Structure 1
């Protein structure tokens, strides 16, 4: 090979490689490629002639202490010692089948920049046990005869398909695989004892990358395990599948053995019909023994949590249980867990409460046993009585506290920051707080992202303090699609620095601290939907929230009142956009009003700015004056005892259900003491006249008369609702005024304000704004 910078580093972990190691190296160095490559062998204490064999080839040799070996850890170390853009992974007992192996393995990544990893096909060594050969043939036939790309489709349906077909999606074998080193720097192998390759295959798919199968990249790789070794290996496979993938399917022993015996029957039939096969009978017996051993191993490994740890260690070939597996496997005894759980419940609930909880638990377990069987029930009971895990981090590790100190004044952009900025095609990193179904602020964020993407801008979403959310980025994106709107933007957990961008956007006070500390973009902006200090009593959180307005960010505000506040009070370069209405979703739906008059109220006890107590007491007065009025509540799931009157609770509704509720009600109440919100516009668009609170922010937002503004006290709000109920001409005038107000509101128009603001921020930050432009 020429002394050039290699395109590929072939990595081979070695320990007592024997004759196959020489055969493997010979085949690797015989590859015919149109690119340079190198070979790196990592030896972990071989006692045979493996090191001498390696040194007889022009390969790099890295020697490590055998006690430090780990399948994921050692491969990470080897990749760290490579500098090629691509890394090929093979083992000492896997021999490339021809001189095109490496070229075919790397091809999918050279052809498609989104492919993060590739795995190739395995075929048996000469002399392989027939059942092993048949198994390899069946396994790789599932992936087809042509190059196959694996990716999780965006959205809930794509994630559901992935969840239902995980074994097919996640397969990745570093006996014959390659990866893109730039992706590995973000997603290294996990430091686990077993299945590090399949975990990596799942990790890259769940992060939004593509995995490829290259059927013409073939190695010879198989094992002639004894029935006992096969059983122990199957035990470990099932144990780690349960540990990391936790499939709910738990086949019973009879079902497993029935399946394995059926497969043995087919394998033996093929074996006995082969006229070139000698010693058919002994191999048939071995095939049967291996298949039965595999079934027993899977059965026990799938239920390893029910077994004593001493027995697990005795059966397992990976008895040291290092890495993640060791951390998860080091459980206390079942008796000790039950005792601790009983004592903890006794302290929390008293003797009577503990007895009640125990009785309910027994009944629930019995019902589960009837539905799912004994194995699933025992596993769930075993997990339920374990002590709760320690929190991932303490409160002072939240983003706003971790980055409480301002960055140094000399802080410059990261080395990977984008150098060219096109204001018409911006790249924007959005930093958002954790989200859940029904969040109005997140809806506005994701709607803005969706519409900016349609205009040609590129967005990414980073979630701060997201420990309680789904760990997989593609699942996070699917939840955005399911709960809010479909977006192209990937959704990541914020862990370290973000990808280079033109603008990095804070969206809540907690996110502003992480944005201030970031060096990913030259422009730092703040998507401000509310005056967030007012969410809190005067104190630490009030001060921490208010401080973020002094960070020097560009401000993009919801409505003119916030823009004025940011300009005049904080000297911020600010622009605003109007909150709007999606008229394809919110419109009067006829035929829903009944004989009884109905009042709708948006109520969230945990959101102080919504004035929960004032609304509740005002509606109590309304109910006293109009006993037949139905009160409909949405925004949170409230028990009947939460309010001093009877009501119809809707919980958190989707768009269509909200439209139906709005259309069916005669009056709507939606208070916001800090800044106006989306719901009054959406209610007005459905023909429901709205009562909001009369404060400075709402007076600045609504045209006069479009919304009924009541002084912020119980009696005034009750009076305005009652007036709308008893004065039909007045109510009709308010309906017409509401229609006039929202008719001209549209998100298409609102996004123009947003896009122009982002362009102004970009030009101002780069000094390309025209002289005389607004600067404060």
Structure 2
């Protein structure tokens, strides 16, 4: 890696979340900034008071706060818009419904002082609107699979290389030169209006690691994610797993099959689907809600995977080279 980074560009994409964005920027304003740091907020077509919130914080910010607009819907496209103009050697990403801890930026800067580290991410804790659902494991037990729709993450109290794990886009920092090498966030993945599409952060982390770069978990870089009441309802959870199946099918399109399949569906998914159809109702009838949701998630995930494989859902094709150029570097 090149010399120790000089500046950090903190990037937030937003869409119609003026009140939450205001909280997000309030917490970012409390960071310990250094010369060369900047904030970039990309408005992805908001029609609420987002413009006024950004203007207010431009007057309050201790570092330049750049307001960009991206008319094409999609979180990945909004992030690419910011990456293309960011001046920092490090790019730190968080979301408009996230509040960062006071020492978040310092923790990122410290972790990235190790020149061998290309990417870091940290814990994402919940800010509940109505309290934790009964079906979610307690934090002490670690966030299980059912926390994925809530965008929560905690790999424990110790710093470590990620290995096969990935981190969330709500709390992720990467060297600009690495983005230029591997490309930015895939435009066919990530939040898109009318869907629960995701996976742009998972795909990005995977490409960084596949390129031979080191990715690390930094427990000191903590953020808190707003979890509204509607997201803890089973209907939302199962909808998220359906779209997760679509996301994973899109990711698998570019990889050689590692398992046997029937009509494009891996056999292990067919087994999980069959078991889930039987076991989910049985668990629900005995009031084992968490177990029932886990089985039902297998059914929803496989249904989404099949929908993508069989052409029932169309996504834009990935163009990694263009994403890399958007980041300001050569692919």
Question: Could you say whether these structures have the same fold, taking a TM-score greater than 0.5 normalized by the shorter chain as the test?
Answer: yes
* Gaps in structure 2 of 5+ consecutive residues: 59-64, 145-151, 191-198, 260-267, 320-328
1:146 aligns with 2:140: no
- Residue 315 of structure 2 corresponds to 321
Query: Aligned partners of 1:497, 1:43: CA distance in 2, in Å?
Result: 26
TM-score (norm 2): 0.72
Equivalent position to 1:192, from 173, 188, 193? 188
Aligned to 2:126: 124
Return the offset for 1:33.
5.0
Distance of 2:223 and 2:216 partners within structure 1? 16
In the TM superposition, what is the alpha-carbon distance from 1:324 to its structure 2 partner? 2.9
Q: Distance in 1 between matches of 2:315 and 2:31?
A: 37
CA contact (8 A) 2:18 2:50 kept: yes
- Classify 1:131/1:30 alpha carbon distance in 2 versus 1 (closer, same or farther; 3 Å): farther
Q: How does 1:645-664 map to 2 (within 5 A)?
A: none
Alpha-carbon distance in structure 1 between the residues aligned to 2:22 and 2:295: 34
Give the match for residue 220 of structure 2: 216
**Separation in 2 of the partners of 1:21 and 1:203?**
29
Using the TM superposition, give the Cα deviation of residue 297 of structure 1 relative to its aligned residue in structure 2, in angstroms: 1.5
Tell me by how many angstroms 1:198 deviates: 0.8
User: In the TM superposition, what is the alpha-carbon distance from 1:260 to its structure 2 partner?
Assistant: 6.9
CA 1:114–1:132: 2 relative to 1, 3 Å: farther
Give the conservation status (yes or no) of the 8 Å contact 1:172–1:201.
yes
Mind listing any 5+ residue stretches in structure 1 that lack a counterpart?
A: 152-168, 270-283, 313-319, 326-495, 499-776
User: Could you tell me how far 1:131 is from its partner in structure 2?
Assistant: 5.2
Structure 1 segments, 4+ long, off by >4 Å, are 33-36, 139-142, 257-265, 287-293, 305-308
| TM alignment of 1:186-335, pairs within 5 A | 186-189=181-184, 190-194=186-190, 195-223=199-227, 224=229, 225=231, 226-245=233-252, 248=259, 249-250=268-269, 251-256=271-276, 294-305=297-308, 307=310, 309=312, 312=313, 321-324=315-318
Residues 264 and 134 of structure 1, relative CA distance in 2, 3 Å threshold: farther
Asked whether the equivalents of residues 264 and 291 of structure 1 are also in contact (C-alpha less than 8 Å), the reply is no
Give, in angstroms, the shift of residue 295 of structure 1: 3.4
| 2:17–2:97 Cα contact (<8 Å) kept | yes
Aligned to 1:423: none
- Distance in 2 (alpha carbons) for counterparts of 1:38 and 1:260: 49
Structure 1 residue matching 2:115: 3-state secondary structure = coil
> Which residue of the partner structure matches residue 179 of structure 1?
174
**For residue 391 of structure 1, what is the aligned residue in structure 2?**
none
Q: CA RMSD in A?
A: 3.4
- CA displacement, residues 70-99 of structure 1 (integer Å, 9 cap, x when unaligned): 333321221111111111101111111x20
Q: Does the CA contact (< 8 Å) of 1:193 and 1:323 recur in 2?
A: no
Give the secondary structure class of the aligned counterpart of 1:123: strand
More helix by share: 1
Query: Structure 2 vs 1, CA of residues 306 and 35 (structure 1 numbering), >3 Å: closer, same or farther?
Result: closer
Contact 1:231-1:295 at 8 Å conserved across structures: no
Which has the greater radius of gyration? 1
Is residue 70 from structure 1 mapped to residue 74 from structure 2 by the alignment? yes
Structure 2 Cα separation of the partners of residues 304 and 104 of structure 1: 41
